[in-house]
Structure 1
Amino acid sequence: MANSLRNLLRSVFKRLPITYSLLLMILVPLSLVINTMWNLNSYERDMNFGVREQAIGVKDTLFPIVTSLKLTNEELKDIFVSTTHQSQSIESITLFAENSDGTLAQQVGTTSTKTLEPGFIENLAYSQGSEYFTKEYDPNIQNTVWKLVTPFTDENGNVSVISLTVNALRVDAIVGRTARDSMIIMVISVIIVVLLLTNHAQALERSFLVDKLKEVDRMKDDFISVASHELRTPLTAIKGYVSLLQKDLQISLTEKQRTKFGVVMESIYRLETLVNDLLNVSRIEQGRLDFTITSVDVATLIQETVRQLDPVAKEKGLGLTAINIPTSLQAMGNADRLREVLTNIVGNAIKYTPSGSVTISTTTERNKVQIIVQDTGIGIAPDDRKHLFQKFSRIQTDKTRDIPGTGLGLWITKQLIEQMKGSIFVDSVGGKGTTFTIVLLPA
């Protein structure tokens, strides 16, 4: 139960960044839309306020003239018409007066010679005695207008209503243009934000997958490490008992039986090499292959390698020699790991050399010691050299198809040399041979 809950919580927490990104992909564009609409409404409200202030200013100018009753209707009309001409937005000014029956009728107007009937807003202002500012459609000019309707009582005590109509065409055009530009900017911003957040979500998803791959890779390394360790014990036992059996039966064995014993031992050696390679790969990848770097006797290690592999070379009819090896040659490294490197490089040289020889030599300079392994083998093509030090990389040709190997040896060799602060280079000519150069720091 506890493990299930722990796994559930771990899964939820791993998914939180992706969920967070998805929420951002929804909330950020939504906030941009809301912000844009809010700003547009605020802008339109400010424009309406400006129009109203303009209408009120005109009304305040006309009010003393209208309420004084000193001008005739014709004189009032001239003033109204002049005011509309001077203003860019005042469409019309109409004065409605109270009839004897308590209704409103047009007294003075600027729209036309036709008498206008008071509308709902004029009658509302008259009946309520309150000023109103509203937006409505005016059929006379076939456009949306604002109306400022104000009731007042003249010097004779009669109630009248003055109605100012403000054309909304110019303001609507400005608001519409602003809304269009704002929507374009908003859409572009939303697209950019969505793209960025999508990329962010994909990056998080990739990160999640990478974590999963790392976990799988770690499990693989652990499995290889455990399996390799478990294989070494039975392999050692098999190797030991086969050797003892071969020794005990040496006198009575026929040539055919000796050959079969040889095949068994060779298979054991190959399996042992594979297990050791897998162990080394696992240790290197997990950073557990630690060793001490000290002064190493290079000459002794080379001689040991020659003695160890000389029987293998002779079995193939090859010459294995070491030349120009100073007896006091020292380099910085680790004796066990450098022995493994030399065995690997020289062993490969013997393996891929059908005839001729393998030569080990050294050169020394002020800041480096070079170990050179040169063979007269099949050589390596330029394209194959690019992948030579990669894991599981093997040269696939008709000449190499039957040569056993895992493709791990050179990768391990390169890792070991680099951990010893050294480097390795390869030079080769197809059909003429290959030269490996190991460079180490001098002791």
Structure 2
Amino acid sequence: MNNYYLANISHEIRTPLGAVLGFAEVLSQPDLTEAERMESLEAIRRNGELLQRLIDDLLDLTKIEAQKLEFEERDFSVGTLLSDVRKALTLKAAERKLNLIIEEPLEDVVLKGDALRIKQILFNVIGNALKFTDSGGVWVQTTYQNRTLKFTVEDTGIGLTEDEVQRLFQPFNQADSSMARRFGGTGLGLVISRQLARLMGGDLVLVKSVRGMGSVFEISLKIKKAS
């Protein structure tokens, strides 16, 4: 891992860690009101979760680069998988007053693969779409044909310029520094999701994006039906 990545990792860890230590110090003060105490605890929890996600992403990225990532092969229902994703992300959409529509295939299908890794990809891509959308919503279409499971994720978000598209799948590179300050995050989610999709014989691509109007991502995975 080169010095560029190390510098970025150090920065990304220091920010939430500093918040955890700072609010822990606030909690040690004896004259806090109950509201102030709850606010500090919530800040510690939020930044602790951010640290956990960052560490998980770094572990995944390290395993991928070292070609040590293993996939499970288990039967799973596409309908159940999408239902789990919908339940997990509906609250996030509701908090931002956004519509989240996840369409299922006309006929449920049982496949054999790593459902947890597929969910990880969907959480990253759909979660990203929700994060960068201020109004409207996110629509997910799912198809399965010729042993290819495909998800099309369309949003009405802020969209990207051509320069931003070029940097989209680079680690620790959000579209620009102002976005990093406004939305947070390391930019690792899409990088890991693309690598996972490619390891599963498919890909994650940006189909189109228009500044101020939204983006469309397509996830394709080569997965056979369960016997």
Asked whether the 8 Å contact 1:376–1:432 carries over to 2, the reply is yes
Offset of residue 417 of structure 1: 0.9
How much is the aligned-residue C-alpha RMSD, in angstroms? Answer: 2.8
Offset of residue 259 of structure 1: 3.3
Question: 1:292 and 1:422 mapped to 2: Cα distance?
Answer: 16
Offset of residue 304 of structure 1: 0.8
Q: Which one-letter code corresponds to 2:219 in the other structure?
A: I
For structure 1, the residue ranges without an aligned partner over 5 or more in a row are: 1-215, 229-234, 243-252
Alpha carbons of structure 1 residues 372 and 277: separation in structure 2 relative to 1, 3 Å:
same
Q: Which one-letter code corresponds to 2:221 in the other structure?
A: L
Question: 2:100 and 2:37 mapped to 1: Cα distance?
Answer: 30
Partner in structure 1 of residue 119 of structure 2: 339
Offset of residue 276 of structure 1: 0.5
Partner in structure 2 of residue 360 of structure 1: 140
Alpha carbons of structure 1 residues 421 and 331: separation in structure 2 relative to 1, 3 Å:
farther
Instruction: Name which one, 1 or 2, has greater alpha-carbon Rg.
Output: 1
Question: 2:192 and 2:45 mapped to 1: Cα distance?
Answer: 24
Deviation track 1:296-333 (CA, whole Å, cap 9, x = no partner) reads 42222221111112112211111222124445234453
Offset of residue 341 of structure 1: 0.8
Partner in structure 2 of residue 406 of structure 1: 186
Partner in structure 1 of residue 30 of structure 2: none
Q: Which one-letter code corresponds to 1:437 in the other structure?
A: E
Correspondence 1:379 to 2:159: yes
Asked whether the 8 Å contact 1:294–1:332 carries over to 2, the reply is yes
Correspondence 1:277 to 2:28: no
Partner in structure 2 of residue 323 of structure 1: 103
Partner in structure 1 of residue 218 of structure 2: 437
Deviation track 1:145-177 (CA, whole Å, cap 9, x = no partner) reads xxxxxxxxxxxxxxxxxxxxxxxxxxxxxxxxx
Offset of residue 334 of structure 1: 1.0
Partner in structure 1 of residue 29 of structure 2: none
Question: 1:414 and 1:278 mapped to 2: Cα distance?
Answer: 15
Alpha carbons of structure 1 residues 351 and 441: separation in structure 2 relative to 1, 3 Å:
same
Residues paired across the two proteins, number = 200
Deviation track 1:174-220 (CA, whole Å, cap 9, x = no partner) reads xxxxxxxxxxxxxxxxxxxxxxxxxxxxxxxxxxxxxxxxxx76xx9
Offset of residue 374 of structure 1: 1.5
Residue 264 of structure 1 aligns to a residue whose secondary structure is: helix
Alpha carbons of structure 1 residues 359 and 257: separation in structure 2 relative to 1, 3 Å:
farther
TM-score, length basis structure 2: 0.76
Structure 2 matches for 1:389-428, cutoff 5 A? 389-396=169-176, 398-399=178-179, 401-426=181-206, 427-428=208-209
Q: Which one-letter code corresponds to 1:304 in the other structure?
A: D
Asked whether the 8 Å contact 2:164–2:175 carries over to 1, the reply is yes
Question: 1:333 and 1:308 mapped to 2: Cα distance?
Answer: 21
- Using CA pairs below 8 Å that are at least 6 residues apart, which structure has the higher relative contact order? 2
TM-score, length basis structure 1: 0.41
Taking only the aligned residue pairs, the percentage that are identical comes to: 32
Question: 2:187 and 2:72 mapped to 1: Cα distance?
Answer: 27
Residue 394 of structure 1 aligns to a residue whose secondary structure is: coil
Q: Which one-letter code corresponds to 1:343 in the other structure?
A: F
Structure 2 matches for 1:113-124, cutoff 5 A? none
Offset of residue 428 of structure 1: 1.3
